[in-house]
Amino acid sequence: MTSAIRLVLAFAASDWQDTIPGPRRLDEFVALARAAHPALVAARERQLAAAEQVKAVGRPEDPMLEIGSMNRSLPRFGRSSPVAMDQIRLVQAIPLGGRLRLTTQAAQARAEAAQSAVAEADRRLRWQVTDAVIALRQSDQTVAFLGVSRAALEQLHAVSRARYAATRASQAELIRAQLELARLAEEEIVARADRQEGTARLNGLLVRPPDTPIGAVSLPALPDSLPPLDSLIRRAVTDHPSVIGLRSGRAAWGHERQRVASERWPDLEVGLGYGQQPMFGESGTDRMVSLSIGGRIPLWSRPARQAMEREAAAMERMASAEATAIEAEFAARIGELAVAFGRANRLVELARSTLAPQARAAATSALAGYQNGAIDFEAVGSAHLAVIRIELDVVRLEADRARAVAELQYLTGIEFGVTAEGGSR
């Protein structure tokens, strides 16, 4: 029984995290996801398509070439008529009102929006991978600590069994020790199931079968503090790809609205023709050149053009409102995350500096008192369960802090694990 007590006392001062094997780094998983995830591939292809569209617009329509033989006599299609003529004509439509420039500017704005969508997809994918790795790390730490805790409670159960055999403890104490072991086993089952769920989730982001094994994982060091709140919000509302993309979309619709409005001036059509016919009454060929300028009369297209102009203006206002809405959403979310980070920081510090040492000391003292018969099993069991709860709370709080930093990185672009401006490790 003395050796069992020593094992339990060793648990009270052990570094249980040393039981986790050598892990894989976060950046390895991020690189794998970036290379394979179809959402990011699709965003890149959309960007390429939008870039090619810029090259396709901004040029006038191709000229139209007409070749004709006019005023031929029937039924032999001959040149017996003095007005018979062979003609070749070239017609070019020239857009007015700066339509080509506005079309190009709209396409360029859409290409910029597509580029922002790639950056947003990359940020979001990194955030999702980071969150999945955080969940795996939390599960690994929970399972490791519960394994150490189970060994300690098993030794405590052995002490209770020995005391019961020596008629120094009641059967109720023995049953209580068995119950606490069963509860710990239940928590371990839940933690291992959470680990399997996290594995499936991360494998999905890596485009692999959900049951592909993933070993232990590691996270970069977290900052000890964050930059000022207004600095975080400013970075989000000015640098986040979603905001930039919406602003580019608003600009695209603005150019489109101006382009539609410019259609009140129809395209100018310039034609150049060459014709020839035999000279009647004398030998030779009569050659002629013709020049024409024209355009369509916007008689029936005006209502449609005005409707399209109103549509473009509404879409421009919509994009502006969406940008304002997402800026407000980001600001509120950053405020929430800053509070969550600070709360987790303070609670972890309190647990490590005060609660955990006091709980361990209380557990050690209770175990010694239980050995001497000064206290009952319920007291010593409660003392050791308090140590377990505090350690599990620390694991959860550290995961919450890491999740807050990961989402802040997505919102602001702060490098995960690298101290941001104004913060410190």
Give me the residues of the chain with pLDDT under 50, please: 1-9, 11-20, 416, 418-425
Task: Annotate 297-348 with three-state secondary structure.
Answer: CCCCCHHHHHHHHHHHHHHHHHHHHHHHHHHHHHHHHHHHHHHHHHHHHHHH
Instruction: Return the pLDDT at 281.
Output: 65
Q: With contact defined as beta carbons under 8 Å apart, do 1 and 162 qualify?
A: yes
Instruction: Return the pLDDT at 25.
Output: 87
pLDDT tens, position by position, 252-264:
999 999 988 888 8
Instruction: Return the pLDDT at 425.
Output: 41
Tell me the whole-structure pTM to 2 decimals. 0.79
Instruction: Return the pLDDT at 79.
Output: 67
Q: Which domains does the chain have, with CATH numbers?
A: 2-60+95-263+298-412 (1.20.1600.10)
| Spatial separation of the C-alpha atoms in residues 363 and 9, rounded to whole Å | 8
